[in-house]
């Protein structure tokens, strides 16, 4: 197996094309010790605060009445919108469940007893009401029918 080798000059030229001249020569490797910084603290006041001074300043700052709140970002607003949407949907589901489980027995009783003008007696209508109260599906179909069809249903129920 033959190994491909490059001399330093060719390698530096190729790397200069790829990553730039300062990266290949190593001039980017400076530390903070290599950089001459001017003394920017000249003329500044010394920091000789006591604990009492810091506490006083904190209490004054907190009692100034200015509250700093973090600004909501777009993602938080979207999440709030989703929470409100889910809350509204849950409210609608709760209302639907309330209507679904609502006691329809008094309404069913009124509908059965409204058929009294037929040739049947009160005991028969009480028996019909008891049957419909036990069988929810039959009660729903009975309530959905028109008066003419309710009469036919009552006649069939009386026959057996």
Give average pLDDT by consecutive 10-residue segment, the chain, 160 residues: 61 73 58 58 56 56 56 70 87 82 78 78 87 88 88 87
Task: Characterize 56-81 residue by residue with b for buried, 16 or more Cβ atoms within 10 angstroms of its Cβ, and e for exposed.
Answer: eeeeeeeeeeeeeeeeeeeeeeeeee
The pLDDT, as a whole number, for residue 9 is 66
Domain assignment present for 62: no
The pLDDT, as a whole number, for residue 14 is 76
**SS3 of 86, please?**
helix
Q: Please give the DSSP secondary-structure letter assigned to residue 119.
A: S
The pLDDT, as a whole number, for residue 61 is 53
Which strand (E) or helix (H) includes residue 137?
helix 136-144
Domain interval for residue 114:
105-159
Domain assignment present for 58: no
Counting the structural domains of the chain, the total is: 1
Domain assignment present for 146: yes
d(CA 75, CA 7): 54
pTM more than 0.85: no
Q: Please give the DSSP secondary-structure letter assigned to residue 102.
A: S
- Number of Cβ within 10 Å of residue 132's Cβ equals 22
Domain assignment present for 155: yes
The pLDDT, as a whole number, for residue 60 is 56
Domain assignment present for 71: no
The pLDDT, as a whole number, for residue 109 is 84
């Amino acid at each position: 197996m033959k190994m491909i080798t490059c001399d330093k000059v060719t390698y530096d030229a190729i790397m200069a094309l790829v990553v730039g001249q300062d990266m290949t020569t190593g001039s980017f490797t400076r530390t903070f010790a290599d950089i001459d910084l001017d003394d920017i603290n000249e003329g500044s006041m010394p920091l000789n605060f006591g604990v009492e001074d810091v506490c006083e300043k904190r209490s004054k700052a907190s009692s100034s009445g200015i509250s700093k709140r973090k600004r909501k970002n777009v993602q938080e607003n979207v999440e709030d919108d989703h929470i409100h949407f889910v809350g509204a949907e849950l409210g609608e589901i709760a209302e639907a469940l309330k209507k679904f489980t609502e006691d329809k027995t008094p309404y069913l009783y009124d509908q059965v007893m409204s058929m009294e003008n037929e040739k049947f007696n009160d005991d028969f209508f009480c028996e019909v009401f008891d049957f419909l109260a036990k069988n929810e599906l039959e009660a729903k179909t009975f309530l959905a029918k028109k008066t003419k069809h309710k009469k036919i249903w009552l006649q069939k129920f009386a026959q057996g």
